Amino acid sequence: MKRKYWVLLITCFVVLSLDQWTKYEVQQKLYLHQTIKVINGFFNLTHLRNTGGAFGIFGGERGGLGSLFFIVVSLIAIGSILLFFLKMKEDEKSLSLPLSLILSGAIGNLADRLFYGEVVDFLDFYLFSFHWPAFNVADSSITIGIGLMAFNLIFQDRRRSAKSQAPDPK
């Protein structure tokens, strides 16, 4: 089996296992909206539910057209990532990990939407009056994957530019 598929399988297994386990534990140990201070003034564990998209955008009531919209968008995103992954050339193998992280996160949050009609969030960071919207392991995986992909694409672009500007060794 090609390396990119091993990266995909291992990443999906690790991220989905960690994501679903942490969400399960939060639901078992914390009531909805209950908060446990971990680092005073910086980090809490808070059991929240997100009916919307990233950071609660377009959040509304549980179920209904909003939930269906996010399920359809998630399925399209997952299908697109898988298609891109399958068509990825050997010289693009550095995108295997970023795409696997994004895919794993999308599947983790889709599972929540299918099982609960909303996404379980619990990582709650803030600093003074600045409060970051609560998130979960799947969200973290998507964010890290996008960051790695951006870094990779910028680095590859610079490397291509340097090669095209290098003098011909003849």
- Can you list the positions of beta strands (E) in the chain? 35-39, 43-50, 119-127, 130-131
15, 101 Cβ separation under 8 angstroms: yes
C-alpha 109/C-alpha 64 separation (Å) is 17
Candidates 19, 112, 121, 124; catalytic one: 121
Does 121 qualify as catalytic in the annotation?
A: yes
Long-range contact set of residues 78-81: C-beta below 8 Å, sequence gap at least 24 = 78/103, 78/106, 78/107, 78/110, 81/106
**Residue 56 and residue 106: Cα distance in Å, rounded?**
15
Catalytic residue among 112, 139, 157, 168: 139
Residue type, 6: W
- Distance, in Å, from the CA atom of 45 to the CA atom of 28, rounded to the nearest integer, reads 13
Q: Which residues are catalytic?
A: 121, 139
